[in-house]
Chain A
Amino acid sequence: MPTTHTPRLSLSQGSLHRLMVVDDSNIIRRRIERVQDLPEIEFVGAARNGREALEMHRQLRPTLVTMDLTMPEMDGGDCVARLVERDPQILILVISALADKMTAIDAIEKGARGFLCKPFTDRQLNNALRKLIE
């Protein structure tokens, strides 16, 4: 099931980023939620594929998204393009096992702001998120 959380702080409290995690792996979704520890980021929900992410985006209004690429129903590449079309300011970090340069370039061309290759350490995830929001 997709998960949603009520943020502890409201958007009116300044520089809070609302994080949505998109990945077809439950383990990865839970790990990103558990591991990210930047005070500027509030986890608001997780989706299992691109289609679900688009639906949840309307409700949750995330400002920051981690996005897998290889997913059923709608892959991450298409979802990145659709999210950026809706909200050009949205910050998307692609987190994928696809390790070739063309995949990263393609994701950036579609509007992603960063790329982190799986497998990743806790520190690598937080560094990538920090770089994105700074």
Chain B
Amino acid sequence: MTAKSETEVSVFVDGVLRYFDTTVQQTADCGTPYLALNDSPEISDYTGMIRISGRRDGVVCFTAPRTMLCVMLMRMQETDMSHDNLCDLVGEIANTLSGNARRDFGPQFKISVPSVVHGRSNAVPYPPNARPIVIPITWRTYHARLVVCLN
């Protein structure tokens, strides 16, 4: 990873930590980010995707298991654990982490409304020739990932 991409990754790591501290009021841990070995890193039960355009082009994804999202909703005092609300949550997390990155990347880092993939067998449309960077996230006993893939 280059120094530039390390700096960019640290923006997203800070965003993840801030999100968990603020929203579920419990600290999450981010593991060592790594470059994905293949073009499309494995995804979990629910994946929220934000398309990035403007000065940068790419995708930011937050992917997490169903149980983790349910516990997050409980911590937020939300009683509706429906499929729609789980989709809503992963989309909102991806949106928040991408939007917060504009603090460092500026207003030319344009973000789309979220889209959501349900199921582990689906593929995320990463831009060609870009290597996704995977940020492992541990919260309580659960494991999620933030995947940042920017040209």
Contact = CB atoms under 8 A, between A and B. Distances in A.
Q: Do A and B actually bind?
A: yes
Interface of A: 24-28, 30-31, 34, 70-72, 96-100, 102-103, 117-121
Contact of A97 (B98, B105, B106, B107): B98
B88 interface: yes
A99 B102 CA distance: 6
Dominant SS among interface residues on chain A? loop
A31 B95 CA distance: 17
Interface of B: 18-19, 22-23, 25, 73, 76-78, 80, 84-85, 88-89, 91-92, 95-103, 105-107, 111-113
A97 B95 contact: yes
A99 B113 contact: no
A27 B100 contact: no
Contacts of B103: 99-100
Nearest to A35: B77
Contacts of B113: 24, 70-72
Contacts, number: 67
A98 B112 CA distance: 11
A27 B74 CA distance: 12
A87 B112 CA distance: 29
A98 B89 CA distance: 17
Contacts of B106: 100, 102
A26 B25 CA distance: 20
A97 B96 contact: yes
A31 B99 contact: no
16 contacts: A26-B85, A27-B73, A27-B76, A30-B78, A31-B76, A31-B77, A70-B95, A70-B112, A71-B113, A97-B95, A99-B101, A100-B103, A102-B106, A103-B107, A117-B100, A119-B96
A119 B99 contact: no
Nearest to A69: B99
Of B22, B92, B112, most buried by chain A (CB within 10 Å of CB) is B92
